[in-house]
Amino acid sequence: MSSSLAIGPGRRIVCIGLGAMGAPIAARLLKHGHDVHVWNRTREKAEPLERLGARVLPSLSALCDLDIEFVFTNVSDSAALRSVVEGEAGLLRVLAPGTTVIDNASVSPEAACEVAKALAVHRVNFLDAPVTGGTTGATAGTLTVMVGGDPGILSRCEPLFRAFATAIHHVGPVGSGQACKLCHQVAASCAMLGLCEGLALAAKAGLPLRPVLDVLSSGSVGSTMVRVQGAKIVARDHSPGFRVDLMRKDLITAHGFSETLQLPLPGSELASMLLSSLSGKGGGDLGWQALIREYEERAGFSLVPESRTPPSHS
């Protein structure tokens, strides 16, 4: 898509949901000169953005007094999106015809279609536009967006997406963006399984992990997953970027969707089982690279950071 379709700086925008992805997306929109209002259920998450120049809304009903053009939603799940849009104080009651709602969260394709239909009755546009690239990508403005909806509406919104994304893909009508995101998460979960298994095998074999990771990165399995998550696994860095429970949520949604298509997904179902096990032991808020812990526990070893002596053969 051409950037010649730019709608100009200073658009009036509301960002709803200021979690790990919503907050940096709002910050990027501010950096690009837009007039950004923000709302979150817990106000303290809005305060860093307020210091950057965002205006904090006391409630969604305050939108009645504002001439808003675009609304970005980054909420936790399908139920939260429905509540924000269709709830007692939801967007259906406060948005003017012609406004465009853009959902960057990961929800079910069915929820995206239901919300779009409800908004359309009030002549409010909707794009389902989930993202991938993690919090690092959101902060750097290098996310990938997969968009479902009217291509004409997307063309008008593209300059806004360019504030936080470097790749924008139109994949079909409303619901297609969310379906594509589920495809991505299914593939990612299988890739993480393979990465953990390869590194677990290397550790049990007594191989130095950094050179093994270098081989994986430069070989036929080389990918961002291997380079970024592999480096965290080797360093035993399980700090949250994309949390275990968020990937569990996405896989549950993916498997519900695949059931409607009568398609078994054994690889990602195994990943979901292992992530559920990890979450049940208190690991739900860890970065999902902590999946390596399930291999350590089952094999009775602990992966040693590269700065220490590699494990011996068992």
Helix (H) or strand (E) holding 44: none
Q: Please name the residues in contact with 127: beta carbons below 8 A apart, sequence gap of 6 or more.
A: 100, 101, 102, 103, 147, 148, 149, 150, 153, 154, 157, 174, 177
Report the C-alpha gap between 104 and 174 in whole angstroms. Answer: 13
**DSSP SS3 for 35:** strand
| Among 181, 204, 232, 281, the one annotated catalytic | 181
Tell me the CA distances in angstroms from 145 to 134, 162, 164, one per residue in order: 12, 10, 9
At position 107, the amino acid (one-letter code) is V
Residue corresponding to tokens 């068992």? 314
181 is catalytic: yes
Report the C-alpha gap between 290 and 292 in whole angstroms. Answer: 5
**DSSP SS3 for 148:** strand
Nearest in space to 182 (alpha carbons), one of 130, 126, 127, 112: 130
Helix (H) or strand (E) holding 49: helix 47-51
End-to-end CA distance of the chain: 55
**DSSP SS3 for 83:** helix
Residues marked active site are found at 181
